[in-house]
Amino acid sequence: MKPGMASIRLPERAILGEAFRDTFLKLDPRELIRNPVMFIVEVGSVFASVLFLLSGLSPSPDSPPWFIGSIAIWLWFTVLFANFAEALAEGRGKAQAANLRRARMDTTAKRLLAPERGSRYDVVSSAQLRRDDLVIVEAGDLVPGDGEVIEGIASVDESAITGESAPVIRESGGDRSAVTGGTKILSDWLIVRVTSNPGDSFLDRMISMVENASRQKTPNEISLNIMLSMLTLIFLLVTVTLHVFATFSSGGATSIPLVVLIALLICLIPTTIGGLLSAIGIAGMDRLIQTNVIAMSGRAIEAAGDVDVLMLDKTGTITLGNRQAVAFLPSEGIDAVTLAEAAQFASLTDETPEGRSIVVLAKKQFGIRARELTGQSADFIPFSAGTRMSGVDVDGHRIRKGSLDAVQRFVAAEGGSIPNCVLAAVEQIARSGGTPLVVVDRRLVLGVIHLKDIVKGGIRDRFAAMHRIGIRTVMITGDNPITASAIAAEAGVDDFMAEATPEKKLGMIRELQAGGHLVAMTGDGTNDAPALAQADVAVAMNSGTQAAKEAGNMIDLDSNPTKLLDVVAIGKQMLITRGALTTFSLANDISKYFAIIPAAFASIFPELALLNIMDLHSPQSAVLSAVIFNALIIVALIPLALHGVRYTPATADRLLRRNLLIYGLGGLALPFPCIKLIDLIIQFLGG
Amino acid sequence: MNALQIVVIPFFFIIFTLLSMALGRFMCAVFRRDAGMNARFSGSWERRLLGMIGIRADFEMTWKQYALNLILFNAIGMLVVYTMQRFQSILPMNPFRLPAVRADIALNTAISFVTNTNWQAYAGESTMSRLVQMSGLTVQNFLSAGTGMAVAVALTRGLIRQERTTIGNYWVDLVRSVLFILLPMSICLSMLLVSQGVVQTFASGIEISGIDPQAGNGDPSNGKQVIPLGPVASQVAIKQLGSNGGGYFNSNSAHPFENPTGLSNIIEIMAILLIPGAFCFTFGHLLGAPRQGWILFGSMAILFLPLFFLSAAEERMGNPALARLGVEQSAGNLEGKEVRFGALTSALWASATTATSNGSVNSSHDSCQPLSGMVLLLFMQLGEVVFGGVGSGLYGMLMFAIMAVFIAGLMVGRTPEYLGKKLESFEMKMAALSILIPPSCVLIGTAAACLVPDIRFSLTNPGPHGFSEILYAFSSAANNNGSAFGGLDASRPFLTVTLAVCMILGRYWVILPVLAIAGSLARKKRIPSSSGTLRTDTPLFMLLLVGSILLIGALTFVPALAVGPVIEHLQLTACNRAMP
């Protein structure tokens, strides 16, 4: 979790308090009917309560009033526990939405009449802004709505949305041109073209997403609900017909007490998963939000679990943003120190990361300290697209560094040529995936600097984990195939696409999808938008352009492309949690039969006492124990539902074996000792 | 206990597996369009036959068209069989001058034979004319079996195809099933049966003088008895092979003219299991993934064997109540059994006939030990998927596989998929329908019958055993098995009608969702499998599938079985425990 995120949360106690209140509000049958399993429990509770009230009139030895009353109370608890789980899960989302809403408050906007700074503007409410209006925002102003910077550069505090307190730079053009409503300008100014109408902004969508997490059911949740409803229906039938069967089989004299039938029904229907299902979904969404990713739909999270191809940009995801110098390869007859010295000198004012890394490497390898510049009439030549070199002119030296062909032209003009040993070094570096920079001083070729892409630490292991769980990773890069293949091999990706263009990316996604694959990708630039729109899971960087954010179905507020891997894990974890609790819930039923069936027939068929393998004290305590277990297990599993089942990347076979063992076999076995224990406690209390 | 019988059992299962594998491969060749085996020969027959009814073999149907054709054809079949029964007195081939069949029984029988149930609310030889038996019932024995096979093949196609809207042609599938599988196999089997003494004749019957003039169904005054004959072997062959089970005689395969010898008994049991078992392998071969077929076969075997052993052990043990009376029980529980078969093979037959949806009997299931009777009930209540009916066993099993995959699939963190096809809410809805409709019919039907005020007059026993008799009847009808526990007078109009309703719902409310799933899966792309895909060809999945079947079957019927056979067993053994 990001520390910044934690700070904008309500204290847990406030969430708990609100959850307690919502627990009771959710008893409203109109709301509960959306969850058929829990609705049946509520109907059962009402039924049992009525039976309790009537039991005073004609007490029966089979079902004394204390017994009916206890059953009724615990049935109510079952509903309340399930409501509490849901309320607790919703609480976190609500707290977050409240924070976001504070950022959305109406602000004033300076609507420009002409698209230039200094032109006249109206002061209007942000609610009056429409798409394509132009506004100016200056230091201290809140950005009135989502938009695209068309002029200016400014530092912006986006902590209201991202929770990240460090300011970010927003400027016109390029991939950092999007601003979000509710963020604050810290310095300078921007002219922004508004891109959304009121009520339709990114913040609005985020709030509704966070708030309504419980209302939208994801596809798998719908399927699961169908299954649970069907099972509930059949168990309803089982219990109702059992009454008839027992009466018939016993010759018509006696039958099973009504309250026992209700208890049997509630114990048989899948209340555990039914009660926790929506909490699992909401909590999954919440976990995603905790990693600072906002999904635009629940469907997207689920799709993340299904993804089997990840398309990852090389830069920023697989490698650190920039290339770094790793070696100096001097030409024949040149001392390595001379080369390093010249290279360092030529890079002194080069503020690019590559340039800085050269300075650092020279210092590290040869202890060459950056020379004092004062007093020397050094003339630094910055890198230009025309010459594709940079360097320095000082004391008659003309030191240049650049790509081979650029430097070759320079040397030729000076009347020299590149020696073969340097050509060989250049080729060798290129083949290994690095970038060679040739360093010359006039016609004297000093040698080559080896610049290398640095693969992020630990990324190789993460790709290996992805590979194990059957997800193919594809590296996307603009590099040439040789460089790309070297980095791909080093990072351990399964495949790569070199010299990537937006069209090539889109084509690849389409091709993969035609083969039945589900593709996830990250992107930030406007030219990523078509591919993002095509991908099944598309994580747009918050720092990216508006077009990219519109096209994605998730937005990463931290703009960290590596997070795609976490998103996949969260998607899977949510599905696993649902499956595990479903299995657990169904497996529980076996033991409940052993508890309730002998007890239910105690007065009709005493022979069935042989099935009372748990040796429960009395029919009443047996039934009550099963009902109490059924209620308490919901509470016991709330943490699991909210945090999700432990997920470690492994093959499907291994995951299945592990989860079947824990939740299948565990679900079969666990209730036996638990019910026995509850029975002993009831016995102790005098039941 | 005959030592030979004990040797026979393992040998029987080995032969069964080998024959299933061979037949499975053969059936795959039949159903595959580019049938390698003698394609030109079989193709020309197929085209000629389809041409006669105006069907183009290459016409492909959507699932809705497929279902519509199937339902219409079945409805017409019902109408024809019903009409034949109602008018049999004025139709030819009625040597015993049998009167028209009662309307509700005729309806029950028509539905029963068209739905592949073959529940018989009548005594065959004394109710149905030869015309009805041969061109009504026996024809439906072929067609209903063929329909089940067609649906199974259509579902398999749905799993194989990608991005297609069609799932094949019902008529082609039906013709192939009947013409190239059922018909040749029936001919061979009837020959084998005739060799063992099963009758096949148009002679009207044998008139004999009995030893005891009071016995038999002849006129007691002259001591003569007429034993009916008929074209029995041909009907027995298809009733066994096509999981039909409707016998020519009332006593079904316990009758010496239907099942004369120990060998004919074993052959007939094999015939019960063969096609359902082979369909697993056909499925695997059609998919091009034989392991998938083995997993289904294995799951069925895992369910079959222990339950059969339980039943066999109970039958071999004999009846403790009789033992207390000093009746020798060393040969097992022989009440209601033919001595020429003995307790063990009778138990094998009983298990096989209930585990598949066959329903023919060679002993009285009513006389089984309680737990043994429970096994038979359970085999049917599991949804007739332990081998199951021809075709219907496979598609029923695949519905359970979809359920199992759904639960387990979530546990591996992916949207569940089976054989590369994503299972979504539509498939879930349909699979749940097809799995839950039959048990619902059983429960509702049994409860309704229990509530009929004077139902006990239709029963031979009160209490738990009487309840088992009712439960058995509805389990048998709703799962299209057709065997009877006995003891229940099923000719009562209330029962003929409710059971007929159960048969219809239990057949078509499974077939329709299955075809719907076939159509929906055929439209989907296949997702390439990876190590993140739930594998469905592993022993682990086999256990999971078995567990799911037991869980759904057991959870639904535990209370009903508890008040029936379980309590009966406990009461029967309680005396033993009381006086050791």
Choose the closest CB to A653 out of B413, B439, B540: B540
Contact assignment for A580 to B411 by CB distance below 8 Å: yes
Chain B from 553 to 572: CB within 8 A of any A CB: 554-556, 558-560, 562-564, 566-567, 570-571
pLDDT of residue A8: 36
Q: Which of A404-408, B97-101, B188-192: highest mean pLDDT?
A: B188-192
Contact assignment for B559 to A573 by CB distance below 8 Å: no
Q: Is A125 left (phi over 0), alpha (psi -120 to 50) or beta?
A: beta
- For residues B293 and A122, the model is more confident at B293
Contacts of B527 in chain A (CB under 8 A): 308, 516-518
> For residue B302, is pLDDT > 90?
yes
Q: Are A146 and A555 in contact (CB under 8 A)?
A: no
Q: Are strands A168-171 and A147-157 parallel, antiparallel or unpaired?
A: antiparallel
DSSP B480-498: T-----SSB-TTSHHHHHH
> For residue A226, is pLDDT > 70?
yes
Tens-place pLDDT, residues B219-246: 555 567 778 888 889 889 999 999 998 8
Q: Are strands A472-476 and A495-497 parallel, antiparallel or unpaired?
A: parallel
- For residues A20 and A457, the model is more confident at A20
- B535–chain A nearest CA distance, Å: 7
Q: B536: nearest CA in chain A?
A: A653
pLDDT of residue B486: 78
Q: B564: nearest CA in chain A?
A: A249
pLDDT of residue B218: 47
- B415–chain A nearest CA distance, Å: 6
CA atoms in the 13 A half-sphere facing the CB of A122 = 9
Confidence of residue A554 (pLDDT cuts 50, 70, 90): confident
> For residue B357, is pLDDT > 50?
yes
pLDDT of residue B1: 46
* Three state DSSP letters for B275-315: HHHHHHHHHHHHHCCHHHHHHHHHHHHHHHHHHHHHHHHHH
| 3-state SS class at B34 | coil
Interface test with B, best of A228, A248, A469 (most B CBs within 10 A): A248
* Burial of A25: CB neighbours in 10 Å, binned 0-12, 13-18, 19+: exposed
Contacts of B505 in chain A (CB under 8 A): none
3-class SS shares of chain A: helix, strand, coil, % to 5: 55, 15, 30
Choose the closest CB to A302 out of B415, B463, B464: B415
Q: A252: nearest CA in chain B?
A: B463
Contact assignment for B463 to A226 by CB distance below 8 Å: no
Chain B from 465 to 484: CB within 8 A of any A CB: 466-467, 470-471
pLDDT of residue A7: 34
* Burial of A367: CB neighbours in 10 Å, binned 0-12, 13-18, 19+: exposed
- For residues A116 and A533, the model is more confident at A533
Long-range contacts of A31-37, Cβ-Cβ distance < 8 Å, separation of 24 or more: A32/A79, A35/A82, A35/A274, A35/A277, A35/A278, A36/A225, A36/A228, A36/A229, A36/A232, A36/A274, A37/A228, A37/A229, A37/A232, A37/A269, A37/A270, A37/A271, A37/A273, A37/A274, A37/A275
% of residues, chain B, pLDDT over 70: 93
Interface test with B, best of A656, A659, A661 (most B CBs within 10 A): A656
- Give how far the C-alpha of residue B503 lies from the chain's centroid of Cα atoms, to the nearest Å: 12
User: Which residues lie across from A136 on neighbouring strands?
Assistant: A110, A191
Q: Which of A283-287, B7-11, B301-305, B416-420: highest mean pLDDT?
A: B301-305
Confidence of residue B577 (pLDDT cuts 50, 70, 90): low
Instruction: Work out the average pLDDT over A343-370.
Output: 81
Q: B402: nearest CA in chain A?
A: A227
Confidence of residue B3 (pLDDT cuts 50, 70, 90): low
Q: A653: nearest CA in chain B?
A: B534
Contact assignment for A608 to B443 by CB distance below 8 Å: no
- The CA distances from residue B118 to A612, B22, B137, B470, B480, in Å, are 40, 28, 9, 17, 8
* C-alpha angle A344-A349-A351 in degrees, rounded to nearest 5: 100
pLDDT of residue A515: 86
- For residues B11 and B218, the model is more confident at B11
pLDDT of residue A636: 94
The span from the CA of A326 to the CA of B14, in Å, is 70
Confidence of residue B386 (pLDDT cuts 50, 70, 90): very high
> For residue A462, is pLDDT > 50?
yes
Contacts of A250 in chain B (CB under 8 A): 463, 563
> For residue A183, is pLDDT > 70?
yes
* Reported ipTM: 0.91
The pTM assigned to this predicted structure is 0.87
Confidence of residue A380 (pLDDT cuts 50, 70, 90): confident
- For residues B505 and B328, the model is more confident at B505
pLDDT of residue B461: 81
pLDDT of residue A103: 66
Judged by average pLDDT, the poorest of A484-493, B27-36, B303-312 is B27-36
Interface test with A, best of B295, B407, B412 (most A CBs within 10 A): B412
> For residue A3, is pLDDT > 70?
no
- A309–chain B nearest CA distance, Å: 11
> For residue B84, is pLDDT > 70?
yes
Contact assignment for A597 to B559 by CB distance below 8 Å: yes
% of residues, chain A, pLDDT over 90: 24
Judged by average pLDDT, the poorest of A152-156, A165-169, A363-367, B239-243 is A165-169
Contact assignment for B530 to A248 by CB distance below 8 Å: no
- For residues A329 and A377, the model is more confident at A329
Chain B from 388 to 447: CB within 8 A of any A CB: 403, 406-416, 420, 423-425, 427-429, 432-433, 436, 439-440, 443-444, 446-447
* Burial of B400: CB neighbours in 10 Å, binned 0-12, 13-18, 19+: buried
> For residue A317, is pLDDT > 80?
no
Q: A594: nearest CA in chain B?
A: B558
pLDDT of residue A218: 82
| 3-state SS class at A203 | helix
Confidence of residue B437 (pLDDT cuts 50, 70, 90): very high
Contact assignment for A516 to B555 by CB distance below 8 Å: no
> For residue B448, is pLDDT > 90?
yes
pLDDT of residue A215: 59
The span from the CA of B465 to the CA of B453, in Å, is 17
Please tell me if residue B297 touches chain A, with a CB cutoff of 8 Å: no
pLDDT of residue B499: 95
**How many residues does this entry show for chain B?**
580
Choose the closest CB to A237 out of B413, B444, B540: B444
pLDDT of residue B34: 54
Choose the closest CB to B440 out of A237, A516, A664: A237
| 3-state SS class at A389 | strand
Contact assignment for A579 to B408 by CB distance below 8 Å: yes
- For residues A208 and B418, the model is more confident at B418
- For residues A633 and A545, the model is more confident at A633
Q: Are B424 and B415 in contact (CB under 8 A)?
A: yes
Q: Are B199 and B230 in contact (CB under 8 A)?
A: yes
Confidence of residue A164 (pLDDT cuts 50, 70, 90): low
Contacts of B440 in chain A (CB under 8 A): 234, 237
Residue entry with tokens 């038996």: B133
Contact assignment for A230 to B432 by CB distance below 8 Å: yes
DSSP single-letter state for residue A676: H
Catalytic residues of A: 313
Contact assignment for B446 to A241 by CB distance below 8 Å: yes
Contacts of A224 in chain B (CB under 8 A): 406, 410, 428
pLDDT of residue B304: 96
pLDDT of residue B305: 95
Total beta-carbon pairs less than 8 A apart between chain A and chain B:
204
pLDDT of residue B98: 85
Instruction: Work out the average pLDDT over A436-456.
Output: 87
First to last CA, chain B: 24
User: Sign of the C-alpha dihedral, residues B291, B296, B302, B308?
Assistant: negative
Confidence of residue B69 (pLDDT cuts 50, 70, 90): very high
- For residues A550 and B312, the model is more confident at B312
Q: Phi and psi of A376, rounded to 5°?
A: -100, 140
Average pLDDT score over chain A: 84
Choose the closest CB to A308 out of B436, B462, B532: B532
Tens-place pLDDT, residues B452-511: 888 878 888 888 899 999 999 999 999 999 888 878 888 888 999 999 999 999 999 999
% of residues, chain B, pLDDT over 90: 58
Q: Are strands B205-209 and B224-228 parallel, antiparallel or unpaired?
A: antiparallel
Contact assignment for B544 to A660 by CB distance below 8 Å: yes
pLDDT of residue A478: 79
> For residue A342, is pLDDT > 60?
yes
